[in-house]
Amino acid sequence: MNHPEIEVWLVEDDEDVRQTLLQTLQLSDIRARGFARAEQALQALSPQAPVVVLSDVRMPGMDGLALLQQLQQRDAELPVLLLTGHGDIPMAVAAMRLGAQDFFEKPYEPEQLLHSLRRAMDRRALVLENRRLREQLAARRDPGLLLGHSPQIELLRRQIDNIADTNASVLILGETGTGKEMVARSLHQGSGRKGHFVAVNCTALPESIFESEMFGAEPGAFTGVTKRRIGKIEHADGGTLFLDEIEGMPLNLQAKLLRVLQESVLERLGGNKLIEVDARVVAATKIDLHAAGEAGLFRPDLYFRLNVVTLALPPLRERRVDIPLLFLHFVEQARIQYHRDAPPPSDALLQQLIQRDWPGNVRELRHAAEQYVLGVLSEPADETASTLPSQLAALERQLILTAMARAEGNVALAAERLGIPRKTLYDKLARYRHQAAGES
């Protein structure tokens, strides 16, 4: 694969050899820059430089081995290839131990050298892309649960974009593990609200402390309260209050929440002062609240007040086409989290994942990706030898899905990094969707 952003730096003191090599590289569509001395290359090198270094070993001043050591100290993942005119096996062994990616003796075989350089360029591009991804993960929210190109997830993203900057109450419906809190956070981040995002799991709070936790309490409201306590709703003033598993809220407190929604005021436990609050309420449930209301288990008026906008999250088994992209994204996250390297998952493993039903949904898939990186989740046995065309097709698919994961689902960016037309990428993604749909 071409990497026009990666440049080969050639360090060679012999002018004739340097110019010949530069011409060979340029005729092979490889960007190249020449240096007569190792010190010049070191001075020009910047952090995160998109370069691969090809250096002679024996040079005046700093030699190639010393240059290799200096480069390794600056960036241990910078690929360095060495050339020598002297057949010296101990030197080659020393160079490889120091971290050289390859070692060539003059006269070298041009095709072998070009092949090794291209592999080094692939490696450098991957390293730099992984670093960019780490920076993105550190600087912004995880987009993983909303990654994908299934019709369901594309509709969900459009719905979130349409309502994020409104004050409308939202009810999120979805099975366990489908990412209801992630959607709530996306709504908050798109709202422009400066206040906190406050998440409450209504089934996790004991009923005995539910009211004080939610609405706050004044000193003396009950035993042990010696100073004013600010509740979750008040803490979300100016922000978003996310009520997960809203069906777990006690019936007697549902009326108080309804008042907050209708009048934007609350009373702390033990107090008689009305406190104004401006908190957008986003609720989530995995049950049919309308049916619960008819059964007397949930207030119908609260249900209708919460249900201004409904967002339905599809289970993973209904968006199987997104599984490879999600899995690759979670593998990349796990590699960063656990500081572990892992080979790209095979096409056979991805097909196996597509065929599973995933009762735990995206949460379970993330767990499987972590197991894969930690070496617990095994690749399926190769029962039949693949033909070369099928191997190439699997490799192409793997490269495309990896690029899409690293581009966070951005087709234009992935196409640019892959060096293919956007239409070609759309066509291939559509073909993968059809294949996944046929296997589901």
Question: What integer pLDDT is reported at residue 144 of this predicted model?
Answer: 54
Burial (0-12, 13-18, 19+ Cβ within 10 Å), 263? exposed
Question: What integer pLDDT is reported at residue 141 of this predicted model?
Answer: 46
Domain 144-314 classified CATH 3.40.50.300?
Answer: yes
Domains 7-139 and 144-314 share a fold: yes
Q: CB–CB of 249/285 below 8 Å? A: no
Q: Give the burial string for 276-293 (b: 16+ CB within 10 Å, else e).
A: ebebbbbbbbbeebeebb
Q: Which two tokens stand for residue 79?
A: 């690929």
Q: Where are the domains of the chain?
A: 7-139, 144-314, 317-439
- Specify the fold of 7-139: Rossmann fold (3.40.50)
Q: CB–CB of 439/351 below 8 Å? A: yes
Contacts of 357 (CB under 8 A, 6+ apart): 317
In 28-81, alpha helices (H): 38-44, 64-74
For 242-274, give the secondary structure using H, E and C: EEECHHHCCHHHHHHHHHHHHHCEECCECCCCC
Question: What integer pLDDT is reported at residue 381 of this predicted model?
Answer: 53
Question: What integer pLDDT is reported at residue 138 of this predicted model?
Answer: 45
Burial (0-12, 13-18, 19+ Cβ within 10 Å), 49? middle
Sign of CA dihedral 247, 249, 255, 257: negative
Q: CB–CB of 146/153 below 8 Å? A: yes
Report the alpha-carbon distance of residue 372 to residue 224 in Å, rounded. 48
Phi, psi of 209 (to 5 degrees): -115, 5
Sign of CA dihedral 386, 388, 389, 394: positive
pLDDT 10s per residue in the chain (440 long)?
A: 567 789 999 999 999 999 999 999 999 999 999 999 999 999 898 877 899 999 999 899 999 999 999 998 888 889 999 988 766 667 777 788 888 888 888 778 889 999 999 999 988 988 887 777 665 544 444 455 578 888 899 899 999 999 999 999 999 999 999 999 999 999 998 888 989 999 999 998 888 889 889 999 888 877 777 788 889 999 999 999 999 999 999 998 999 999 999 999 999 988 889 999 999 999 999 999 999 999 999 999 999 999 999 999 999 999 998 898 899 889 988 988 888 888 888 888 888 999 999 999 999 999 999 999 998 886 665 444 344 445 556 657 777 887 787 777 888 888 877 777 888 888 788 787 777 666 55
For 112-169, give the secondary structure using H, E and C: HHHHHHHHHHHHHHHHHHHHHHHHHHHHCCCCHHHCCCCHHHHHHHHHHHHHCCCCCC
CA distances to 103, 141, 370, 403 from 133, in Å: 31, 12, 17, 11
Question: What integer pLDDT is reported at residue 140 of this predicted model?
Answer: 44
Question: What integer pLDDT is reported at residue 156 of this predicted model?
Answer: 93
